[in-house]
Amino acid sequence: MNLADLNKVALAMVTPGKGILAADESSGTIKKRFDAIKVESTEESRRDYREMLFRSSEAMSKYVSGVILYDETIWQNAKDGTPLVKLIEQSGAIPGIKVDEGTQALPQCPGELVTVGLDKLAERLKKYYERGARFAKWRAVIDIGSGIPTMTAISVNAHALARYAALCQAAQIVPIVEPEVLMDGDHDIDRCYDVTQRVLNKTFQELRIQRVELEGMVLKPNMAISGKKCAKRASVDEVAEKTVRLLKACVPAAVPGIAFLSGGQSDEEATAHLDAMNRIGGLPWKLTFSYGRALQAAPQKAWSGKAENIAAGQRAFTHRAQMNALASKGEWETGLEKKVA
């Protein structure tokens, strides 16, 4: 393992004014997104959609530092035969790969899940590296509800995240460590804060036990935020203040950067929260975005599966990427949202 090279890639992933495009939706997830815009989800339509994003030259070169790919996508070629990985590299962004294989029910823990995919991961990482991937992603899912999360769920998922991260670094691939506390429930922001604190503390304990080099990773956490069904919504400033306080309490300064997931927030909500955090300033790590739906909902709708709408889809993608890039520097304003072409 060459830590200097891992650190160089990790720092590039959190370059100020750039963020990570999460284009790693599973076939099932992208089918739901395509169903919403009345597009049949086929290998070709998925390829065409992602090619549209990767050929958005302004967005990719100016505002995107890296792209997380799904296994299907990393092996696909564009319509003209160019590997999609090469399109990403040519834009100056770094190709990455989602390596977890989804979740399974956690034994003895009703309503809780564990992420799987560690078997044969070392072999898969070698192939992904040869294809051009220089970072990877593994997502753990922690739900909040009556009696959950249990310490069992937090522990097994943190352990798996750390094992994945160690395997990645051994393969000269930067791990994105993603322990996601879901915002699906009716819990308030303080409950989210408490659970996320437990999750992050356990995750970093496991990372240390398994000798993961913190300088060669990127953290992808949720924000401290009210559950979707909570009657009392926390304000933008409260989300920013509590999330920053939480991160300062849990995340070592050695970590190069934190790239937030959007976790079901609306486009502008995710942007506003990121901007407010960066305005607080004085942080030991870079704060940026690793958004999927919050970057893609607008371009998907504008594109709607039609070749004649590619330019409109690319404009919508560029706008969302630019808004979040500004937020990653604390320079976003609501008024800028109205200026989309």
Q: Give tens-digit pLDDT for 31-55.
A: 999 999 999 999 999 999 999 999 9
Q: pLDDT grade, residue 340 (50/70/90)?
A: low
**Percentage, residues of the chain above pLDDT 70:** 99
Among 18, 137, 220, 242, which one carries the catalytic annotation? 220
Which residue in this structure is represented by tokens 């594109």?
A: 303
Among 25, 112, 178, 180, which one carries the catalytic annotation? 178
Total domain count for the chain? 1
Q: Give tens-digit pLDDT for 297-316.
A: 999 999 999 999 999 999 99
Q: Give tens-digit pLDDT for 222-235.
A: 999 999 999 999 99
Q: Give tens-digit pLDDT for 90-107.
A: 999 999 999 999 999 999
Q: pLDDT grade, residue 264 (50/70/90)?
A: confident
Known catalytic membership, residue 215: no
Is residue 278 within 8 A of residue 228, CB to CB? The reply is no
Calculate mean pLDDT across residues 250-272.
Answer: 95
Position 163: which residue type? R
What span, in angstroms and rounded, lies between the C-alpha atoms of 46 and 276? 34
Q: pLDDT grade, residue 335 (50/70/90)?
A: confident
Average pLDDT along the chain: 96
What is the DSSP code string of 137-189? EEEEEE--BTTBS-HHHHHHHHHHHHHHHHHHHHTT-EEEEEEEEP--SS--H
Domain of residue 258: give its range. 3-339
Known catalytic membership, residue 220: yes
What span, in angstroms and rounded, lies between the C-alpha atoms of 277 and 283? 10
CATH number at residue 77: 3.20.20.70
Is residue 170 within 8 A of residue 129, CB to CB? The reply is no
pLDDT given at position 341:
44
